[in-house]
Amino acid sequence: MANKTLFTSLRGRLIAKADTHNEAGGPAYGRTHKQALAQLASTGCLGGTFYASAEDQLEAVLEHAQQVEPEYLARLAIYARKSAFMKDMPALLCAVLSVRSAGLLAEVFDRVIDSPKMIRNFVQIMRSGAVGRKSLGTLPKRLVQQWLEARSDDQLFIGSVGADPSLADVLRMVHPKPATATRAALYGYLIGREHNHEALPELVRQYEKFKRNTNPGKVALPDVPFQMLTSLPLTKKDWVQIARNGSWQMTRMNLNTFARHGVFEDREMVGLIANRLRNPRLVEQARVFPYQLMVAYANAELGVPHTVREALQDAMELAINSAPRVAGKVYVCTDVSGSMHSPVTGYRPGATTAVRCLDVAALVAATLLRKNPEAEVIPFKEDVVKIRLNGRDSVMTNAKRIAAVSPGGTNCSAPLRELNRRRAQGDLVVFVSDNESWIDSPVFGRFGGGRTETVNEWSVFKSRNPRARMVCIDIQPYGTVQAPEREDIVNIGGFSDRVFGMIADVAAGRYSVDHWVRAIDSVRL
């Protein structure tokens, strides 16, 4: 009989040795420039993370962007905005394109810069000098002008909420030529210059009339973003109208505010808001992150009616609809270590989210369990964590149980080691982590040049389950992985519901080496 020890070793040697170390000091595999840039674009919010600063992220984006072709930058900017639902990174990629390929920037501009917030992000980045220029330049300036011309008067007025830069700052920079007397008056009004009040759009005049009113409740509330109104004396009737006019996202974010101002005392409004939140078309249009629904549900105060809270659960079921049902045995390995307790979008003065990486990981695990009740969720830190979950429970309930686990060190190989100890059979293993494994490093803080323990344990698992596949979801903007890309290992990043589509591809056999990058490369310009 052949020497089993010898040939087991040979099998392991087919896997490359780790070629770098991660931010925590453990052995890891570096990403290619395309892979790293995709990871940054899909998870980076240019805020300080557990292991990297905002400056580190910016430097990494600019470095990798110089090493890929401009066409990839253009496709990635579209993907980051339309599929990953990001804001800052797509604007940054467009700014980089303004230097690398102005023609491609013109092709993708309207698909990426699709809101007043995005136009302000783009202008802010351009004028900062971060991409090598402090002025917009001829073509970018013209693109901004065309963007303004393509919006209605009401769209520009409603989009004027926000600062640093404000829409007025953008107008002062690009000097758009108004095509009508109404537009000329609106531009003058927004930048604080003399204008013809009678020529202002009707919505602006309604707003100004409401501001001047000294008798609350006697002047109709204008249909404008409520941020324009909150400094004014508002009645309960006004708040009901604000809620009636609100968008889906605005409604989700202000349920407690509505409760405090008596909106839910109106039974009709309870039904209207609940139906809005569970409306499939509005949920899709809102491009909501599933974790945002979980947070809204968890933070809803006692004044928010049960019907509205249940509508958030209904919306969650819609938001996770792309999560796959997988034929075969599924294991979901959820990182609950200390670094996963940091804000998922990073630290930013005055704007740090309360949502942790752990909350997102728990939600992904609970979602897959919801769609695959026979799946097994294995939380891990320095070792696996024993936790009892019921696949029939709601996503919200199971996510809360997972997220309640206390922090510890990071050992990404622990779940695989546990499965190997059990000699478990399986078809799909899904990791949700920040990939900062160090507990299983031979010597913490030193890179020894061997394979990662994750890869070693995966090799043992594969020897029993030759058709098994592993999907590693990384939810932080770092540049390394614990298992390199190959036929049976797929690395993806992000925290939108689109990661479920990638898992579905892998589960159904519709994948290839470097599947994520190929998906981005397939975006049509």
How far lies 416's CA from each of 384, 425, 453, in Å? 9, 11, 9
Same structural domain, 422 and 300: no
Structure token pair of residue 144: 């901004």
Q: For residues 217 and 273, what is the distance between their CA atoms, to the nearest angstrom?
A: 22
Q: Tens digit of pLDDT for each residue in 334-375? A: 999 999 999 888 887 777 777 889 999 999 999 999 999 999
pLDDT at 13 over 70: no
> How many Cα atoms are found within 13 Å in the side-chain-facing hemisphere of 348?
15
User: 98: which residues sit within 8 A by CB, 6+ positions away?
Assistant: 105, 126, 131, 133, 137, 139, 140
Same structural domain, 292 and 350: no
Whats the size of the chain, residue-wise?
Answer: 525
pLDDT at 85 over 60: yes
Q: Tens digit of pLDDT for each residue in 186-200? A: 999 999 999 999 999
In 83-228, where does DSSP find H-type helix? 88-100, 102-112, 116-127, 138-149, 153-158, 167-174, 181-191, 202-212
How many CB atoms within 10 Å of residue 30?
A: 16
Same structural domain, 411 and 513: yes
Same structural domain, 306 and 343: no
End-to-end, the C-alpha distance of the chain in Å comes to 57
**Does a structural domain hold residue 25?**
no
Same structural domain, 313 and 336: no
pLDDT at 266 over 80: yes
Tell me, what's the pLDDT at 229?
Answer: 87
Give the CATH number for residue 421. 3.40.50.410
3 state SS for 252-279 = HHCHHHHHHCCHHHCHHHHHHHHHHHCC
Which of 318, 349, 381 marks a domain boundary? 318
Helices 395-403 and 306-319 pack at an angle, to 10 degrees, of 90
Tell me, what's the pLDDT at 9?
Answer: 44
Tell me, what's the pLDDT at 442?
Answer: 61
Predicted confidence band of residue 286 (pLDDT cuts 50, 70, 90):
confident
Q: Considering only residues 439 and 134, tell me which one the structure prediction assigns the higher pLDDT.
A: 439
Same structural domain, 261 and 171: no
Residues 176-179: contacts with CB within 8 Å, 24+ apart? 176/145, 176/148, 176/149, 177/145, 179/149
**Does a structural domain hold residue 419?**
yes
The DSSP element (H or E) to which 334 belongs, if any, is strand 330-335
Structural domain containing residue 127: 69-199
**Sign of the torsion angle spanned by Cα atoms 222, 225, 226, 229:** negative
Which of 199, 234, 255 marks a domain boundary? 199
Q: Residue range 391-410: average pLDDT?
A: 89
Tell me, what's the pLDDT at 12?
Answer: 46
**Sign of the torsion angle spanned by Cα atoms 465, 471, 476, 482:** positive
Predicted confidence band of residue 158 (pLDDT cuts 50, 70, 90):
very high
How far lies 279's CA from each of 370, 396, 442, 458, in Å? 21, 19, 52, 42
Same structural domain, 187 and 93: yes
**What is the per-residue burial (b if ≥16 Cβ within 10 Å, else e) of 466-489?**
eebbbbbbbbbbbbbbbbbbeebb
Q: Considering only residues 388 and 14, tell me which one the structure prediction assigns the higher pLDDT.
A: 388
Tell me, what's the pLDDT at 319?
Answer: 84
Q: Tens digit of pLDDT for each residue in 423-446? A: 999 999 999 999 999 998 765 444
Which of 273, 292, 318 marks a domain boundary? 318
**Does a structural domain hold residue 384?**
yes
**Does a structural domain hold residue 15?**
no
Tell me, what's the pLDDT at 449?
Answer: 54
Of 7-11, 289-293, 397-401, 439-443, give the lowest mean pLDDT range: 7-11
Q: For residues 397 and 390, what is the distance between their CA atoms, to the nearest angstrom?
A: 9
Same structural domain, 237 and 118: no
Same structural domain, 239 and 308: yes
pTM of the prediction? 0.88
**Does a structural domain hold residue 456?**
yes
Same structural domain, 231 and 260: yes
Number of domains, the chain: 3
Tell me, what's the pLDDT at 164?
Answer: 83
**Does a structural domain hold residue 136?**
yes
Same structural domain, 363 and 477: yes
Chain centre distance of CA 374: 28
Of 151-155, 347-351, 503-507, give the lowest mean pLDDT range: 347-351
- Tell me the pLDDT of the chain averaged across its residues: 90
> How many Cα atoms are found within 13 Å in the side-chain-facing hemisphere of 230?
9
Q: Tens digit of pLDDT for each residue in 32-80? A: 999 999 999 999 988 888 888 889 999 999 999 999 999 999 999 999 9
The DSSP element (H or E) to which 71 belongs, if any, is helix 70-82
Predicted confidence band of residue 282 (pLDDT cuts 50, 70, 90):
very high
